[in-house]
Structures are given as C-alpha cells and as structure tokens.
Structure 1
Amino acid sequence: MSTPQRRTIEPTEADLNIRSCIDEFESFTVIAGAGSGKTTSLVLTLGYVREKYGSALRREGQQIACITFTNRGVGVISERLGWDDLYEISTLHSFLWSQIKRFSTDIRNCLADVIIPTELKKQREKDTGKDTKSARDARAKVEKYEDILAKIDSVDEFKYDSLSSFSNYLKGELSHDDVISISGHLISNNRLLQKVIGQRYPYMFIDEAQDTFGEIVEALNTVCSSKGLPLIGYFGDPMQQIYDRGMGNFAGPKGSFVIRKRENYRCCPEVINLLNRYRKDIEQIPSGENAKVKGSVRLSLVQAEKPEAPRNKYSDEQLDRVAIKYDKVIKDIGWHDRKDVKHLFLVRQMIARRLGFENLHRLFTGEFSSTYSQDTYESGEHYLLRPFTQIIIPLIEAHTARNTTQALSILKQNSPAFDPDGKNSSKSIKKMIELAKTSMETLYELWEGKTLKEVLKFALDNKLIGLSERLLEDIEREPINIEFSKEVHQSEKGKWLAESFFSMNTSELPNYYHFINDNTPFSTQHGVKGEEYPNVVAVFDDIEAAWNQYSFTKTLSPQVYGQGTDGQLSRTSKLAYVCFSRAEVNLNVILFTRSPELTKQEVVNSGLFLEDQISVVQ
C-alpha cells in the first residue's frame, strides 16, 4: 500500500546502530533522553523493517508489532506510518488481551492457581483476628475470594472492557490489572502462546518501555530469548518513568545491545546543561536549531511557612498566602498573564484552587468517589460531567459570544430537538433558529442562578440533550434522606456523589472545562510527559501538594530537610527531570523551603544550579 511522502530525516548514530541490530537479528534497548527524538527513531525503525523485510512478512501473513502506552501514541505512530496494516500498533492492554483472550482455560487456571490464592494469602495476613475495621474487611474479602475459588470452574469465557477498572470473576469480567497479571503469567509459562506470538510478530517494538509493567517485559523477553527472530526492541528512558508499576530500568533479553541516544532537539543549551548536571548516564548535546537559542534557567527559593493545620497541612489562610507569594514571583520574573508560559504543579488540587474548581475537585476525589469516578473526572468523561463538557458549556459560551451559527451546529450534532431527522425536521430554518435562540436565552438565565440539576432538567425536558439511563435514574431518584456510612453504603456511594453534584451551582464548571481542554496555562507535572513548551514554571511545594510519595525538598536539599526514602527520592528525581526537560527556551523552578539561604548554599555546592541562577524571595 502507498504511504504518505514525508521529508527525509537523516538517521543518527543511534538509528544506524538500531539498523545493524535488526540486520543481525539481535534484540536491543534504546535509552533515549528527553527531547532526543525517540518517537522519530521508533518510526524510522518501523519504516526500515518494512522497507527491508515487509514483502516477506506480508507473504507469510506476519506483522510488525508496536506497543505504546496511550491511545494518543497509537494514533501518532499509525499516522506517521500511513495506517499500514503491516503493523499491529496498539496500547499494551489491548495487545495483550488480543493475544490471550482465546486461552479461556488457561485464564481460568491462572486465576484459580495464582491470582486468587495470592489475594487470599494477602488478606489472611491482614486479618489479625481482632475486631478492628481492617481485620473485618480482610475477613470479608477472604470469604469473598474463597467463594470465587469454589465456583471459578463454572466460568467458561472471559471478557475485558477497556473502559472498566473493575473485575467480577464469576461473571468472567477482568480488570486492567488482571490483564497484566494474567498475560505476564501465561506468556512466561505457556510455550504454545510464546510460539504463537513469536510466529505472528517476528519484530516487536515497545515504546515508553520505562512505564511498561515489569512482568510483561520479562514475559516478552522470554518470547525473544533465543538469538534471531523473533526480535524485540525497547525504546524509553528510565529517568522518565512516572508510574510506579513501570519497569523503570528496563532491559532486553540477556545479551541484547544497549544503545544510547545523545541528541536533544528540544531544549536550549542552558536547559541541556542543567539536565546533564542532573543525570550522569547520558550526556546530551544540542542537536538542532535549539543549539542556537539563548535561553535561561532560574531557581526561586521561597520562604515556606510552618503548617498550622492538622497532618502537616496548610490552613486556608496559609494557602491564600502561598498563592500570593507565588503570584509575586511570577510578576517579578515578568511572566504574569503570559500565554506562552506553562505552569506545572504536582497535584490537581493545587490547580483547582487557583483556577476556581476546588469544590468540584474535592467532590470527585472525596469519600463518595471511586477509582473509576476519579479517573473519568480527570479525563472529563464522567457521565455526570459529559452533558456539561460536551454540550451545555459549549452552548453557553456560543451564546455569550453571540455566535448563533456555532450554537446551531452544537445543537444539530447533539440535540434530539434539532436532529435533522428528528421530530422537528419539517420546520423551517427560520423557526429552528428562533427555537434555538429562545432555548439558549432560557438556558443562560438558568445557568446564572440555578443548580446543576435544574439546568440538566431544563435541557432534558426541552430535548437539548439526551441522557444515559444511569444519569436519568439519578435525576429521577428521590432525594436521599439518610447519612452516608462508608461501611453500609460503600457500593452505593455513587448516589451520594450524584446528589452532591446536582446541588452545586454552575460557577466552577467552566473553569474545570477549560482546564481539561488545555485552555489554561496550568498542568499537572505528570500530565506533561511527552510535551514541550517555550517557557516553563515548575512549582515544588511539598506542604501544599500534601503527597508524601514525593519530596522535592528532601531530593534537592537533603542536608536541610533530611534524607528521603528510596521511593520518595526515585519518584521525585524522575518527575523533576520530566519538568525540567519540558522547557524549550526558559525554565523557572519555584521551590518553597523553610530555609531559603541554607537551601541555596546546598544547591550551589551540589553543582545542580549555578549561583547566578538562584534567587531568594523574601
């Protein structure tokens, strides 16, 4: 099949080494620092295999597998390769499920022999025999898993829904974690499955290898452990591992080659110098137009207050003062109200407070929330939020901008009342425009003073939106008149979530909407991996973030704050590296510390930042 014409990209030394490995049928590992053009090297590698071996692979009905971490990555790589069906480009979970789903007996045996017994052992160890909540919960789970173990043989078929994070073994429903655990076990121990995968995919390439699960790396290495085909190539960077279950220091099968990619096409020399001082396993060199760019690196040390609230947290008054100090630093460096600056915070609550959707954030991460509801809140896909983020808020903004054409377009795409094939299809365009204007005016009036439930009811009654059965059930349900109890109502807490949401006013939703659509200068530090911006502010405040898995003060200033745990230091170091390496031209790091002057001296002595790059904010 034909592929789109792209400009010629000269292969780097690393790319030539990769090609040598492919021609010698040797597996390899590529360590590619930030900005090194890892995806370009991956795409060049995929293209090289197609060019040299594609015809033979097509004749044999074989494919080139490329596993990447996100659906976005799948789309980017597929597009750059012309959507060629020679490639199986997939997310990790989708790829693994496609390989194991036909092995129902093996899946059931894995659950019965490995997964469920492991969980039973874990819960039995938690049961102290006392009448504490944790012990009671453990006993309940032991009973649950013993029941599953007794009945699991009756399950004939298993299924996996990528939108669900829950499992129900007796219904044959597997979760995301199950797919990983079962796949790792089956591929490592089932010779037939190894042979099937190896014959189907003589070439396998793993993108973002540092975030790939350790058991999967080991399993795929088993498939490719012999010299020759199948061959596996890993592309990634241990310093950019931001998910705890990832492999981190990944490696190919025993005897495979390690290739280091030294180029940095993203950052200016000043930022690259910081990155080279920060890590020692790769020394990067400016390798594009960025080599000519004059940039800057700054570290602002801000006096942190002693937390006054319980559990080592700031009080509300202290949070207000922190925000004022932060704004002052931004104004002092001349970056206030600049649209070309990205502000990176550790946790979303820090952003929600500054953008004005703190109550919404607290609701979807609080006692009524679940892993599913929090994940879908963060993506904007929660069923309670979708009518607002996809239809109602865009309509309100179109009305505010007096853009009737845009409003009509939104209504035609989403509204039963304006469906070209719906019940109003015979009405004239003039009447439909009048109906749209009337509906929009009323909707806007409600938006200014009513609750979210009242806005939804109007939109539903006037067929401006269609609602899912679940949301209709929530709207029509009588108000809950009993107090929520975690022990009693845990499985029903979504009802309390919905009712609390309905009672809110509309003021916070537009701010949330613009944040999830990346229309603000703010982002979480985890959320910018793979991104790049001309100007970056990285904000490190351990107390406001209130997430003890990370400690920027102990990582950057251990003499002042004491040594962090190995886990803290590893996670924090990697996340800081991700933040630093997003900056193309100018990087400003803001660190809140109890002892700015002592921290300055320690950082200078460590050689990480130069003395003229550091300022102490009084």
Structure 2
Amino acid sequence: MSEELYLAETQSIEHDSSVDAGIQECLYIGSGKSFITFAGAGSGKTYSLKKALDFLAARYSDSFSRQGKQIAVVTFTNNAADEITDRIEQSPIFAVSTIHSFCWAAISGFNEDIRKWYLDSIPITLANVQDEEQRGRGTGKASEARKRTIIRLNEKLKWLAESRSFIYDPNGVNSSPDALSHADVLKIFSNFLTTKPMMAEVIVNKFPFIFIDEIQDTNKDVVSAFFELQETKSDKVVIGLFGDTMQRIFGGGEPELGKTKPNGWTAFVKKMNHRSARRIVGLGNQIRSEDDKRKQFAKDGVSEGFVRYFLLPYGISDKEETEANVRKTMAAITGDAAWSNTDSEETAILLLEHKMAGRRLGFDDLLNKLSKSDKIKDRIFEGQNAELNFFSGIVFPLAEASRENRRAELMAILRESKSPLLEASVLDANKSDPLERARAAEQLFRIVVSNDKVSFREVLEVLAQQKLLRIPEKLQSFVAASKEIEAELESPQTGIAKDAGANPEEHDNSEIEAWADALETPFFQIQNYRDYIEDNSIFRTHQGVKGNEFERVMVIMDDDEAGGFLFSYEQYFGVKELSKDSQKKREAGEETGIDRTRRLFYVTSTRAKNSLAHVIYTSDATKVRHNLIERKFARDDEIIEC
C-alpha cells in the first residue's frame, strides 16, 4: 500500500512565498482586490497576516496617521486579538479587536436605529413563538419556556415604546433591558451595514483595509455583510479574510465558505505545513480527503513522526493510571522521555469536555456542585463568574502568601483588593500600630487555611468575620456575621462592601442553591481550577486548542464520559449508526454530528509537532480498528488494544 496515504509529500519551506507576494499585490487603495486566504493547520496564517500588516505600515503609516485612518484587524477571541497585538508593531494605525467589539463600535450611539430594529424584529420572533405554542401541547418544560419567552418579549416591546439608550457588555454579564446580547450586536451590525449607506461610508473611510481572522467561525450574516460592502465599495476598501473551513468549531460560521467564493475576490491557498512531522501531516490530509480534499506538504527534511491509537473499553475505573501508562508506552515508542513529564509545556492532553478535566485534576466536586445552576455553568470556564474569580484570583493567592509567610505579597494583595482593614479610618484608629488589626486578622486566616481540607465556607467565614476582604454580594448571604460586623456594614469605609456592579435582579435561586452546596467542598480545589483555566495544566479541551501547537499530544476520545451531543466519535468511527434525524440531515446536505466530529478530529490531530496518541474509549474496539484501517487513518501496527 502506498506510503503517500500515510506520509505527506515534502516541499521547500519557501513553497508558499508566492502567497504572501500575491496578498501584497492586493494591498493598495483602489485595487479592488479583496481576498480570501485558506490556511490549514500549521501553515503560518498569522505569519501571513503579520506580513501584510507590516507591508501596509511601511506604505501608509504616515498618511493614515495624518488622516485619522486605521487598518482594522478583527479576530474571533480576545486571546487571538492579544496574540496579534503582541506580534505587530505598536502603531496607532492598527485597530485590533474582536468581531463583537468591532461591530459594537460601529453601531454604538445609533440608539434610535437600534430601538427601531428591535421594534421591527421582536414582533416577528413573538409571532413565531406564539405559533409554536399554539401548535404544541401547551404543557411541559418546552411550553413553559415558550410562555416565559412570550411574556419577556411583550415586556420588551412595552419598554421600547419610549426612546432608549443601549449599552454592550463584552463579558455578557449585564442583563439589564438596555444591554445588547452578543448575538444581537452581530445581527444589528449586519443589518445596518447593508441597509444604511452612511454606515458603510463611515466604515470604509475610517478603515480602508479590513482583515478578518478565523473567518470560518465568524457569523455568516456578518461575513455576508462584508461581502456586500466590498461589492459596493470596492474602490475604497480592501477586505482580507484568513481562515480554514476544516477548523470551523463554533456554530454560526458560514459552512459554504471555501466551496465557493464571491465574485471578484482572489483566493489564496497556503499548502505548506511548517509545524508537523510527515506522518501527522499525512493523517491530516487523509481526514480532509473525506471533506474538502485539500492537501498539505511537510517541510523538506522533517522527521517521519509518530501516530498511535490506543483502543480501550468503556467502564475502566482508573482512567488516570491507564492514561499514564499510555504516556509511558509513547515514551518507549518514540524514545521521548518527556511523554511521562506532566509538567512539560510541550505536552498537551486534549479532552472533549471541561468536566473530564475537572475529574482528572481534582476539582470535579466544585464543578459538579456549581454546574447545577445553568447560569453559573455557562460561565465557569469563560473566566466570567465573579464569585469564582474572587476565590481563584484573590483568596487563593492570599492563602498561599499567608501559608508561606510572604509578607510583601500578602500586603500587596490586601491593598489591591481594597481590604477594609487598610481603610484610613481603621489605620487612624490605632496610630501607634496601624496594621495591628490586619496582622491579627491574617494570623487567624492563616490558621484556617493551614488545614489542607478546609472548605470554601470556612474560608469565607473567616474572611468576613475578620473583614480581611470585601465579600461579593452573592456570597454575603452565606456569611454568619456578628452583630458588631453587621453594625459596621453601614460604614462605606470599613464595612463588607456590596459589589458595586451587582444587579439586584441577578439573585437567581439556582445560583444561591449551587453556591450553598459548592461552599461545602474543599477550598484548595480552586488551585486546580485556576491552573486549568489559565492553561497551566497539561489538559486542554479539543475545541480550545485551535491555533496551538505542542511537541507531543494525547487526545482523549470518550463519548461516554463527555456525555455531549454535538460530537460523537462512536458514530464517526462506525460503532454507532446515525440517528434517523441525522440521516435525514445528511440526505438533505445539512451538517450532522459526524461532520462536526470530523473537523474536531482534524483539529486535534494536527496540534502535534512530532508525536500523536489518540486514546479511544469505545464499546467496540474491533469495529474501531477496522474503521481506522479501512479509511487509511492508521496502519495496522499503529493500533494498540489495551
């Protein structure tokens, strides 16, 4: 059997240099040459974007600065925006932002237009929901949800009867009537850009060049609006799109992008993989052969690399030990002892769901308790839950500094978090020793946190009783304050302050109940949670590593433990049949879970530079083995049944 199915062809590292030259030919005002750059895994997409920006800076920096014009660089996430900002020259001609921030900046201040948009769109949504309710059974959770939606939409229409101003919270925390949701910001922008000529004129005058990264995940209505902008303003704006349709992970992206392109656009394709060994590039090519059939080359002189599949049955009780043994086996196969080093920054273990990381890292008890509230669950891993941030970002560092007697760090944390014990009135009350109360409180706090099994509730109580920190409003109801402390709550200087940004209607019963249970769990689970969300652990999610690369990667595929419904490796590897609904979607040319899983399989398989281990928990190892070999994803000797 031909090795070209398993090992990618090689080419010179300069193979794609013509792409960057072609992009630069588009980069002058009035060129009319907007473009799409398709760049697969490891092909240097960000490098090409940076080259384009450097080229523009050299050509237009002075004139744009005088004219107040900028080059817009629009990304999908804050992390991506930060990465691009770090790579480019710090210049006022670059405006780097997320897609949501860009769209909000464009529509911000158009309050009457936004109000009219809602007055036009809400009745349509309301009519659809009312129709669904009339056709439904009128009972059950779905009906209850529809009825609540009908009430909410009618209330919104009443609120909109008067002129209003609107705001946008990029963190999505503000739920007041005047706050726009992420989705509405994109919808309104797309509508305004295509229906209000003045907005289009303002944007192209301000941004003669607009680059959009991760275009495959960008909302399809926004993409369509930019296509229309280019069509009507091609003499004034150049739009550059960068992405890879095979790495579309999030919903809402344009599924047809890459299969066709708008008229008048130039398409560039980067074919070199600068990241991975030949075997790994070859696997990526074989996965894509069932989709868009794009192929990549590996670099001349790159190693062959390693790919292995470990097939394990469902129901294994000690997965941590099993997976540790897999890493030992990979160390032996590759001769790379770092496979056994869980502290290596060049090793990643990719998990399908966050809860799988929680169990492996030891914060599953906290996670399970908080996940009982859907409102909290949705924000646990976005770093947007104020109470979790309080414990992970303030209380835990304070506990570590106290336990290790790092006095300077401890005082810095108290000052930065505006400890009530460092208020002027407290310090002035004992001028002979202003920090006496703070030292005494910290000593009592140290006694509590010296217990490795201390609960969140015990930690919270000592903080409140000693007034070391200001307690977030939603946690105050769990604090058994003394009468003396209750009296001092009236003092704006020394009391336990309410969260100034808290919204009274935010008191959700499910949140209170979830925190009531979570506070009984061991406090030091917060360290593992913090390490995970800050990417300081070996574990990542399958979806969260797009764009990242590691020397060695182990992918955990476990539908049973993940318990999700968007992806199914059991279906993808032929163990389970497609549902009737999925079969209908496939016959209609619509996306199915297998399509989403294929893209996820591609993303995870192409993160590794040199060695890749797929750990597949399955109900039928024989079927998976046959499927892997039949589809040329694996040679026979690359599959290990455990």
Q: TM-score with structure 2 length normalisation?
A: 0.82
In the alignment, the residues of structure 1 paired with residue 238 and residue 262 of structure 2 have an alpha-carbon distance, to the nearest angstrom, of 10
Report if aligned partners of 1:267, 1:585 keep a CA contact under 8 Å in 2.
Answer: yes
Deviates most, 41-50 or 431-440: 431-440
Instruction: State the 1:215 CA deviation.
Output: 0.4
Query: Which residue of structure 1 aligns with residue 379 of structure 2?
Result: 376
Instruction: State the 1:31 CA deviation.
Output: 0.5
Aligned residues: 576
Report if aligned partners of 2:371, 2:514 keep a CA contact under 8 Å in 1.
Answer: no
Query: Which residue of structure 2 aligns with residue 111 of structure 1?
Result: 118
1:365 matched to 2:371? The reply is: yes
Instruction: State the 1:167 CA deviation.
Output: 5.0
In the alignment, the residues of structure 2 paired with residue 202 and residue 505 of structure 1 have an alpha-carbon distance, to the nearest angstrom, of 55
1:345 matched to 2:351? The reply is: yes
In the alignment, the residues of structure 1 paired with residue 395 and residue 252 of structure 2 have an alpha-carbon distance, to the nearest angstrom, of 38
In the alignment, the residues of structure 1 paired with residue 166 and residue 50 of structure 2 have an alpha-carbon distance, to the nearest angstrom, of 34
Map Cα deviations across residues 19-46 of structure 1 (whole Å, 9 max, x no partner).
1222433010000111111111111112
Query: Which residue of structure 2 aligns with residue 467 of structure 1?
Result: 471
Query: Which residue of structure 1 aligns with residue 266 of structure 2?
Result: 257
Query: Which residue of structure 1 aligns with residue 329 of structure 2?
Result: 332
Report if aligned partners of 1:263, 1:284 keep a CA contact under 8 Å in 2.
Answer: yes
1:177 matched to 2:174? The reply is: no
Q: 1:561 aligns with which of 569, 576, 581?
A: 576
Report if aligned partners of 2:16, 2:272 keep a CA contact under 8 Å in 1.
Answer: no
In the alignment, the residues of structure 2 paired with residue 117 and residue 84 of structure 1 have an alpha-carbon distance, to the nearest angstrom, of 45
Instruction: State the 1:346 CA deviation.
Output: 0.1
Instruction: State the 1:116 CA deviation.
Output: 4.4
Query: Which residue of structure 1 aligns with residue 6 of structure 2?
Result: none
The DSSP-based 3-state class of the residue aligned with 1:26 is: coil
Query: Which residue of structure 1 aligns with residue 620 of structure 2?
Result: 595
Q: 2:231 aligns with which of 216, 220, 225?
A: 225
Query: Which residue of structure 1 aligns with residue 8 of structure 2?
Result: none
Report if aligned partners of 1:225, 1:253 keep a CA contact under 8 Å in 2.
Answer: no
Q: 1:605 aligns with which of 613, 630, 633?
A: 630
Instruction: State the 1:244 CA deviation.
Output: 1.1
* Amino acid of the structure 2 residue aligned with 1:142: I
Query: Which residue of structure 2 aligns with residue 17 of structure 1?
Result: 22
1:85 matched to 2:92? The reply is: yes
In the alignment, the residues of structure 2 paired with residue 436 and residue 149 of structure 1 have an alpha-carbon distance, to the nearest angstrom, of 52
Query: Which residue of structure 2 aligns with residue 313 of structure 1?
Result: none
Instruction: State the 1:99 CA deviation.
Output: 0.6
* Amino acid of the structure 2 residue aligned with 1:231: V
* Amino acid of the structure 2 residue aligned with 1:369: D
Query: Which residue of structure 1 aligns with residue 599 of structure 2?
Result: 574
In the alignment, the residues of structure 1 paired with residue 524 and residue 389 of structure 2 have an alpha-carbon distance, to the nearest angstrom, of 16
1:396 matched to 2:399? The reply is: yes
Query: Which residue of structure 2 aligns with residue 302 of structure 1?
Result: 312
* Amino acid of the structure 1 residue aligned with 2:472: S
Report if aligned partners of 2:399, 2:446 keep a CA contact under 8 Å in 1.
Answer: no
Cα separation, partners in 2 of 1:432 and 1:141, compared to 1, 3 Å: closer
Report if aligned partners of 2:15, 2:272 keep a CA contact under 8 Å in 1.
Answer: no
**1:71-470 to 2 correspondences below 5 Å:** 71-128=78-135, 130-133=137-140, 134-164=142-172, 167-168=175-176, 171-226=177-232, 227-250=234-257, 253-280=262-289, 281-287=293-299, 291-293=301-303, 295-304=305-314, 318=315, 320-323=317-320, 325-334=322-331, 335-340=339-344, 341-366=347-372, 368-370=373-375, 373-401=376-404, 403-414=406-417, 416=419, 419=422, 423-424=426-427, 438-439=443-444, 441-445=446-450, 447-470=451-474
Cα separation, partners in 2 of 1:418 and 1:266, compared to 1, 3 Å: farther
Instruction: State the 1:387 CA deviation.
Output: 2.6
Instruction: State the 1:534 CA deviation.
Output: 1.0
Instruction: State the 1:146 CA deviation.
Output: 2.9
Cα separation, partners in 2 of 1:601 and 1:194, compared to 1, 3 Å: same
Report if aligned partners of 1:195, 1:223 keep a CA contact under 8 Å in 2.
Answer: no
In the alignment, the residues of structure 2 paired with residue 452 and residue 206 of structure 1 have an alpha-carbon distance, to the nearest angstrom, of 43
Instruction: State the 1:90 CA deviation.
Output: 0.8
* Amino acid of the structure 2 residue aligned with 1:443: V
* Amino acid of the structure 2 residue aligned with 1:562: E
Q: TM-score with structure 1 length normalisation?
A: 0.85
Map Cα deviations across residues 225-282 of structure 1 (whole Å, 9 max, x no partner).
1443211110011111110112244366422011001122211222112112221443
Cα separation, partners in 2 of 1:173 and 1:59, compared to 1, 3 Å: same
Report if aligned partners of 1:303, 1:592 keep a CA contact under 8 Å in 2.
Answer: yes
Q: 5+ residue gaps in structure 2?
A: 1-13, 332-338, 483-505, 583-590
Instruction: State the 1:327 CA deviation.
Output: 4.1
In the alignment, the residues of structure 2 paired with residue 364 and residue 343 of structure 1 have an alpha-carbon distance, to the nearest angstrom, of 24
* Amino acid of the structure 2 residue aligned with 1:121: N
Cα separation, partners in 2 of 1:77 and 1:329, compared to 1, 3 Å: closer
Instruction: State the 1:573 CA deviation.
Output: 1.0
Among all aligned residue pairs of Structure 1 and Structure 2, give the percentage whose two residues are the same amino acid. 26
The DSSP-based 3-state class of the residue aligned with 2:564 is: coil
The DSSP-based 3-state class of the residue aligned with 1:607 is: coil
Q: 5+ residue gaps in structure 1?
A: 1-8, 305-317, 479-488
In the alignment, the residues of structure 2 paired with residue 435 and residue 43 of structure 1 have an alpha-carbon distance, to the nearest angstrom, of 54
In the alignment, the residues of structure 1 paired with residue 435 and residue 424 of structure 2 have an alpha-carbon distance, to the nearest angstrom, of 17
* Amino acid of the structure 2 residue aligned with 1:456: L
* Amino acid of the structure 2 residue aligned with 1:222: E
Map Cα deviations across residues 496-552 of structure 1 (whole Å, 9 max, x no partner).
223223333325323222222323211111121221111110011111211121111
Map Cα deviations across residues 274-315 of structure 1 (whole Å, 9 max, x no partner).
112221443222348xx43452111112233xxxxxxxxxxx
Report if aligned partners of 1:120, 1:142 keep a CA contact under 8 Å in 2.
Answer: no
